[in-house]
Amino acid sequence: MSTTSRDTTVDLIAIPRAVVALAAEVAHSVERAVVGDHRVRTAQGNAWEAICADRARAHQRDEIRRLVATLASGRPAETPATTDRRETSPAA
């Protein structure tokens, strides 16, 4: 008589899942050792970086739209660098 049941199945996914979990833990430990505890990336830090990147892209889109609108109107384009240094002519 055998003590093992034929209905027992082997979970083939458990082994790769365990290897991936172990690799993630090792990578996290290495990151903490290399960059220090205070500089470890967090979900909150990642979210803030994404927000900043979205704002930068929106600013760039607005700048391009403004330049395209200026070019379409036929006026000379003013870049932010030139608008800050506008010279005012003295009243004659």
pLDDT in tens, 49-63: 999 999 999 999 999
Total-model pTM: 0.44
pLDDT in tens, 23-32: 999 988 888 8
How far does Cα 75 stand from its chain's mean position?
37
The yes-or-no verdict on residue 88 having pLDDT over 60 is: no
Question: Would you list the domain boundaries of the chain?
Answer: 15-79
pLDDT in tens, 65-81: 999 999 998 876 666 65
C-beta neighbour count of 49 within 10 angstroms: 11
| pLDDT reported for residue 76 | 67
